[in-house]
Amino acid sequence: MTFLAANLQLTIPQTVALMGGHTVGRASRSESGYQGVWKGRADTFSTGYYVSLLSLPWHNDVSSFNGKAVNQWSVPRRPGGGGGGGPAPGGGGAADAIMLNSDMQVRMN
């Protein structure tokens, strides 16, 4: 947050709004090493990104891909099967829901 604020001259509210860009799209192993979607549907605009960011029990999830540590956040699967953590209100939360450190900065600040 402070990095973006200092280097792009953004206010905190502007930074939070900008990170809402992650309400669309997904991350894929082949592109970035990260894997998953930020909310239930990757092709619609909604408040789901923020709802899921604030409401789900995110856990740090470090994996290895191509010999590189991949540091992302996921929602632990519920005991007894079921999709990981979801669904959250507002369409947030998918079986392969993720957040990146940059997203979690919005939650933690």
- Binding footprint of ligand HEM on the chain (CB under 6 A): 18-19, 21-22, 24-28, 31-32, 34, 100, 102
- As measured in angstroms, the least distance from the Cβ of 81 to ligand HEM is 27
Q: 2 or 32, CB closer to ligand HEM? A: 32
- As measured in angstroms, the least distance from the Cβ of 25 to ligand HEM is 2
Strands (E), the chain: 26-27, 36-37, 59-65, 68-74, 98-99
Q: 35 or 93, CB closer to ligand HEM? A: 35
| Residue pair 69/62 in contact by the 8 Å Cβ criterion | yes
- Closest-CA residue to 33 (of 98, 105, 108, 106): 98
- As measured in angstroms, the least distance from the Cβ of 17 to ligand HEM is 8
Q: 26 or 41, CB closer to ligand HEM? A: 26
- As measured in angstroms, the least distance from the Cβ of 11 to ligand HEM is 14
Crossing angle for the helix pair 101-108 and 48-55, to the nearest 10 degrees = 70
| Residue pair 40/92 in contact by the 8 Å Cβ criterion | yes
Q: 14 or 76, CB closer to ligand HEM? A: 14
